[in-house]
């Protein structure tokens, strides 16, 4: 199993309950596909470096996890179809 790191930004219009629900949803995708979550760091609402679709802020979350090489593809798919996610990135943290 490899060590991965993902950061995703949720839309600022979401309330705290919706933000928590989305974080739990993405953690569930990792755990239900054989991954092991090592750390979840919620950075909270921050200003974006640049405007994305007329949005200047977002809810940032960092997740470190271990998984096989297929899980990041599934997680990326889930991020892409979620309307709450503005931006996301998944990297192999071992390199």
Question: 64-76: per-residue pLDDT in tens?
Answer: 999 999 999 999 9
Please say if the pLDDT value at position 16 is more than 90: yes
How many domains does the chain fold into? Answer: 1
Name the band, by pLDDT with cuts 50, 70 and 90, for residue 77. very high
> Taking a C-beta distance cutoff of 8 angstroms, is the pair 61, 7 a contact?
yes
Q: Give the residue from 73, 78, 62, 67 showing the smallest Cα distance to 4.
A: 67
Over residues 49-63, the mean pLDDT reads: 96
Boundaries of domain holding 20: 2-92
- Quickly tell me which residue has 């705290």 as its tokens: 16
CATH (domain of 61): 3.30.70.60
Q: What whole-number distance in Å separates Cα of residue 51 and Cα of residue 54?
A: 6
Q: What whole-number distance in Å separates Cα of residue 56 and Cα of residue 46?
A: 9
Longest dimension (CA), the chain: 39
């Amino acid at each position: 199993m490899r060590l991965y790191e993902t950061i995703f930004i949720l839309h600022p219009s979401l309330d705290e309950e919706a933000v928590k629900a989305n974080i739990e949803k993405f953690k569930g995708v990792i755990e239900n596909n054989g991954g092991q979550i090592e750390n979840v760091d919620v950075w909270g609402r921050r200003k974006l470096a640049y405007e994305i679709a007329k949005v200047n802020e977002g809810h940032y979350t960092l997740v470190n996890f271990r998984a096989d090489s297929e899980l990041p593809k599934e997680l990326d798919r889930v991020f892409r179809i979620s309307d709450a996610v503005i931006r996301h990135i998944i990297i192999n943290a071992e390199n």
